[in-house]
C-alpha cells in the first residue's frame, strides 16, 4: 500500500488515519448542515483531477442524499507556480440553478481557482454555494475566498498524495507528504 516512501518524499505531513478521521468529521458536519434535502437538491461538484480521492472518501461518508458531478479545469501541469488563469474544460452535467451546490476541492492556495468557481457557479443562481476543501495554504493566498468546510491548514511546502501531484506523480499516495525541495527546484 505505497508503504515505502518514494525517494522524492521528504516526510509524511498527514498520515492516512489522520486524513480519514478528519474526512469523517467533515462528512458528519456536512450531513448535519444539509439534512432534509432530496437527492436532486444537493449537488457535490468535484474538481478534477485533484479532488477525486477526497470526493470518494467524503461522499461515501455522507448520510444525506446527493448527486455527484465532476468538472475539469485547465491545469498547468509543467509549471510549479499557479497562475490566476483558469479555463473550464468540462462543465457540470446538470444545471445548478436552485440546487444546493458544494464544491469539493483538494487544495486552496492562491485562491484564484476557487474565486473563479465562486463567480461561475454564483452566477447560475444556485440555492446555496459552499466549498469543502481538504487543504489550505494560507501563506499563499492572493485573494480572499471563503472556505466553508476545511480539512487542514498546512504550511507553504510542496505537498503530494491523496489527489495532489507533482508533474502527475504521487497523486495516489494514501497520505499527504512533503516533496523534497531538490525535486521541484530542479
Partner 1 sequence: MSLFNDVEKVLISETELKERIAALAAEMNAIYTDDDLPVLICILKGAFMFLADLTRHLTFRHELDFMEISSYGRGTTSTGAVRILLDLAKDVQGRNVVIVEDIVDTGNTLTYILRNFAARNPASVRVATLLSKPSRRQIEVPVDFIGFEVPDEFVIGYGLDFAEQYRNLPFIGVLKPEVYQRS
Separation of alpha carbons 56 and 12, rounded Å: 21
Binding partner 1 (rule: CB under 8 A), the pick from 12, 22, 33, 68 is: 68
CB atoms within 10 A of CB 156: 10
Catalytic residue (one of 57, 109, 156, 168): 109
Binding partner 1 (rule: CB under 8 A), the pick from 9, 23, 30, 69 is: 69
What are the grid coordinates assigned to 38, written together? Answer: 432530496
Smallest distance from partner 1 to CB 142, Å? 25
Q: Report helix angle 52-59 to 16-33, nearest 10.
A: 60
78 is catalytic: no
Of 26 and 145, which CB lies nearer to partner 1 in the complex structure? 26
Of 59 and 82, which CB lies nearer to partner 1 in the complex structure? 59
Smallest distance from partner 1 to CB 155, Å? 25
Specify the stretch interacting with partner 1 by CB under 8 A; choose among 106-114, 121-129, 140-148, 164-172: 164-172
Whether the CB-CB separation of 44 and 92 falls below 8 Å is answered with no
Of 103 and 145, which CB lies nearer to partner 1 in the complex structure? 103
Of 49 and 145, which CB lies nearer to partner 1 in the complex structure? 49
Binding partner 1 (rule: CB under 8 A), the pick from 89, 95, 143, 153 is: 89
Smallest distance from partner 1 to CB 143, Å? 26
What are the grid coordinates assigned to 60, written together? Answer: 461515501
79 makes contact with partner 1 (CB under 8 A): no
- Catalytic site residues? 109
Amino acid at each position: 500500500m505505497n508503504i515505502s516512501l518514494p525517494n522524492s518524499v521528504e516526510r509524511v505531513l498527514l498520515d492516512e488515519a489522520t486524513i480519514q478521521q478528519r474526512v469523517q468529521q467533515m462528512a458528519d458536519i456536512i450531513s448535519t448542515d444539509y439534512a432534509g434535502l432530496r437527492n436532486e437538491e444537493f449537488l457535490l461538484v468535484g474538481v478534477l483531477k485533484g479532488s477525486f480521492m477526497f470526493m470518494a472518501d467524503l461522499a461515501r461518508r455522507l448520510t444525506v442524499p446527493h448527486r455527484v458531478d465532476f468538472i475539469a479545469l485547465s491545469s498547468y501541469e509543467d509549471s510549479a507556480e499557479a497562475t490566476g488563469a483558469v479555463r473550464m474544460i468540462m462543465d457540470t452535467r446538470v444545471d445548478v440553478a436552485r440546487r444546493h451546490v458544494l464544491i469539493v476541492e483538494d487544495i486552496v492556495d492562491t485562491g484564484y481557482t476557487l474565486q473563479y468557481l465562486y463567480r461561475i457557479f454564483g452566477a447560475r443562481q444556485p440555492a446555496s454555494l459552499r466549498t469543502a476543501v481538504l487543504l489550505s495554504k494560507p501563506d499563499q493566498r492572493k485573494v480572499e475566498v471563503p472556505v466553508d468546510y476545511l480539512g487542514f491548514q498546512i504550511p507553504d511546502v510542496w505537498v503530494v498524495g491523496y489527489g495532489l501531484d507533482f508533474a502527475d506523480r504521487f497523486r495516489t499516495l494514501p497520505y499527504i507528504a512533503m516533496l523534497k525541495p531538490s525535486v521541484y527546484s530542479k
